[in-house]
């Protein structure tokens, strides 16, 4: 994982969301990072340093004047691989944007050349204030990464924008900030979700795909520098900068994918595309009183086969095979028939793998005859593994588009 062995300064500023920084700290440490917490005086009003002393990789730093190191801000800043500020209050954002250092955390922010990731949290009125947005715009222009706050319950019972992003989002953003940029300059197209084939204006034929694996692949490719287009049937949060193309049916997905694939270096077909669709769509809702309707099915466009037929030298095409039996046999047949580079097969009949859950077991076959059986992995970890393979394939025969 990209956080293993990395030194991360975790800045915690004085907002009620400071309690969530404990979970951010724990997750970073669990991912293998060395975490040095830096707490502002305001943060200490909401959470004690003893908590971070116990959970982080080293005791919490709280002051320029009583730290064990004689110059703590330069020491922390120079040795950091990444600085994360969660929560980042309006005060800290304003001081950072203005280049003012009046405590240890703001000194560290000005003394580091490491990437900086801020996760703002504040009440809605503060978040929407022009000064705060101007400060964020300034920081973004300077290359600071921002994990946008969420809409939800705030202190005092209010509901609105400004709620600190969930710790999982913040840690994922930290991973992305430190990911290798081995796909920089490449164009990657990913598909996600299950297509919906209408029977009438109300009903449709679909499958159980949640789209989680496709979104994880899009996030991973974007984190590693690719220009990513995601063609999807569902709506989920996705990494900043990813172009999202919403579709619904197999025909719409075919049009979106095949119309863009020639301009892409990598195409990953993670979507569960329907093999069949109703040959005729009723123009009004079918009524139960009219009896059981006869639904005649016809095949949909085989997008993966078309991609394999069009594949140009140097382009990498990855297919997915959702199977319930004879996994290797069916995956090998699909790999040969579709003429793609990699086939990722998973057993969707298992409770802990495939549709709707956050984990996957994969059997990966390549066009050269290689087979690798992967253990149970999170879909994020599997996405990282697949992108590693893609990057290696491009490295062996690189033909990025101009």
Share of the chain above pLDDT 70, in %: 98
- Cα 358 to Cα 382: distance, rounded to the nearest angstrom: 11
Q: pLDDT tier at 70 (50, 70, 90 boundaries)?
A: confident
| pLDDT range class, residue 86, cuts 50, 70, 90 | very high
What would you report as the CA-atom Rg of the chain, rounded to the nearest whole angstrom?
24
Q: Which one is catalytic: 107, 207, 346, 360?
A: 207
Give the separation between CA 193 and CA 180, rounded to whole angstroms: 27
The band of 245, judged by pLDDT with boundaries at 50, 70 and 90, is very high
Query: Per-residue pLDDT tens for 208-238?
Result: 899 999 999 998 999 889 999 999 999 988 8
pLDDT at 354 over 90: no
Quick check: 96 pLDDT over 90?
A: yes
What's the pLDDT tens digit per position in 49-65?
Answer: 999 999 999 999 999 88
342: left (phi over 0), alpha (psi -120 to 50) or beta: beta
**Domain spanning 187-396: which CATH class is it, in words?**
alpha beta
Per-residue pLDDT, 401:
38
Buried b (16+ CB within 10 A) or exposed e, 194-224: bbbbbbbeebbbbbebbbbbbbbbbbbbbbb
52-60 contacts, C-beta under 8 A, 24 or more apart: 52/12, 52/22, 52/25, 55/22, 55/25, 55/26, 55/29, 56/10, 56/25, 56/29, 57/29, 57/33, 58/34
7-177 and 187-396 share one CATH topology? yes
DSSP string, 255-300: HHHHTTGGG-SEEEE-SB--SEEESS--SSPPPGGG------EEEP
| pLDDT of the residue at 1 | 55
Q: What is the pLDDT of residue 400?
A: 40
Beta bridge partners of 227: 187
Average pLDDT of every residue of the chain: 92
Query: 350 vs 384, which has greater pLDDT?
Result: 384
- Specify whether the backbone of 205 is left (phi greater than 0), alpha (psi in -120 to 50) or beta: beta
| Helix/strand number for the chain, H first, E second | 13, 21
- Among 353, 319, 58, 45, which Cα is nearest to 212's? 353
What is the spatial distance between Cα 217 and Cα 382, in angstroms, rounded to a whole number? 8
Look-up of token digits 């990057």: 391
Q: What is the pLDDT of residue 351?
A: 77
What is the rounded CA–CA span in Å between residue 340 and residue 28? 37
Other C-beta atoms within 10 Å of 156: how many? 7
Average of per-residue pLDDT across 182-196: 96
Decide if 207 is catalytic.
yes
334: its two tokens = 């699909």
What does the domain layout of the chain look like in residue ranges? 7-177, 187-396
For the chain, report the end-to-end CA distance as a whole number of angstroms: 31
CB atoms within 10 A of CB 23: 16
Q: Which CATH class is domain 7-177?
A: alpha beta
Q: How far is CA 145 from CA 16, 116, 178, 229, in A?
A: 22, 6, 12, 21
> How much is the average pLDDT of 270-292?
94
Q: Residue 257: which of 338, 190, 334 has the closest Cα?
A: 190
Which residues have C-beta within 8 Å of that of residue 198, sequence separation ≥ 6?
204, 249, 278, 281
């Amino acid at each position: 994982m990209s956080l293993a062995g990395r030194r991360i300064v975790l800045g915690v500023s004085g907002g009620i969301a400071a309690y969530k920084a404990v979970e951010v700290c724990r997750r970073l440490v669990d991912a293998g990072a060395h975490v040095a917490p830096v707490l502002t005086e305001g943060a200490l009003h909401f959470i004690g340093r003893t908590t971070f002393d116990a959970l982080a990789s080293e005791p919490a730093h709280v002051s320029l004047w009583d730290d064990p190191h004689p110059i703590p801000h330069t020491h922390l800043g120079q040795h950091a691989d990444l600085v994360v500020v969660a929560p980042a209050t309006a005060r800290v954002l304003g001081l950072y944007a203005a280049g003012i250092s009046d405590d240890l955390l703001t000194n560290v922010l000005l003394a580091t050349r490491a990437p900086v990731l801020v996760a703002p949290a504040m009440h809605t009125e503060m978040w929407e204030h022009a000064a705060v947005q101007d400060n964020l715009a300034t920081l973004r222009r300077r290359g600071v990464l921002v994990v946008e706050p969420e809409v939800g319950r705030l202190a005092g019972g209010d509901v609105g924008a400004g709620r600190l992003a969930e710790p999982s989002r913040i840690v994922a953003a930290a991973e992305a900030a430190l990911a290798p940029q081995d796909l920089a300059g490449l164009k990657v197209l990913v598909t996600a979700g299950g297509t919906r084939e209408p029977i009438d204006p109300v009903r449709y034929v679909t499958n159980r795909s949640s789209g989680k694996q496709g979104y994880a692949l899009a996030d991973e490719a974007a984190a590693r520098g690719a220009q990513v287009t995601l063609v999807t049937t569902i709506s989920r949060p996705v990494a900043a900068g990813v172009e999202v193309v919403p579709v619904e049916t197999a025909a719409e997905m075919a049009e979106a994918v095949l119309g863009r694939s020639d301009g892409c270096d990598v195409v990953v077909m993670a979507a569960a595309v329907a093999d069949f669709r109703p040959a005729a769509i009723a123009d009004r809702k079918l009524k139960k009183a009219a009896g059981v309707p006869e639904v005649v099915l016809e095949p949909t466009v085989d997008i993966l086969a078309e991609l394999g037929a069009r594949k140009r030298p140097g382009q990498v095409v990855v297919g997915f095979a959702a199977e319930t039996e004879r996994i290797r046999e069916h995956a090998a047949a699909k790999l040969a028939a579709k003429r793609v580079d990699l086939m990722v097969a998973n057993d969707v009949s298992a409770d802990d793998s495939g549709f709707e859950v956050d984990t996957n077991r994969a059997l990966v076959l390549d066009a050269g005859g290689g087979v690798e059986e992967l253990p149970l992995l999170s879909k994020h970890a599997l996405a990282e593994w697949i992108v590693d393979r893609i990057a290696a394939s491009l490295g062996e025969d690189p033909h990025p588009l101009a």
